[in-house]
Amino acid sequence: MSFNVCNLKKCLSDEALIIPLEEIQLNDKLNFVEEPVEIMDREVKKLKQSRIPIVKVRWNARRGPEFTWECEDQFKNKYPHLFSNAQPTATS
């Protein structure tokens, strides 16, 4: 198989996506470890008969910050340290 340099395209870096080296965490097999960094927001998801508290989580991802909404109860069990300074969920 051959490779022609003409197939290459110029890549412009986006400095907003640069992750400082000290924030990169690797496991013993040198794989990048994505971990939650902080709780950004809280909401209560209203269903027909129930209310489910959810949290918006910022992750240290390979391509810069990523955000996901997670079930608060399950997330709090797995990562209690993120909730030490968090405010209680509003139940309106």
Q: Which domain holds residue 53?
A: 33-92
- Whether 83 maps to a domain, the answer reads yes
**Number of domains, the chain:** 1
Cut 0.85: pTM above it: no
- Whether 50 maps to a domain, the answer reads yes
Whose CA is closest to 37, among 70, 1, 4?
Answer: 70
pLDDT tens digits, one per residue of 27-68: 666 666 677 888 999 999 998 899 999 999 988 776 666 888
Read off the tokens for 75.
Answer: 């997330």
> Which CATH number do you get for residue 64?
2.40.50
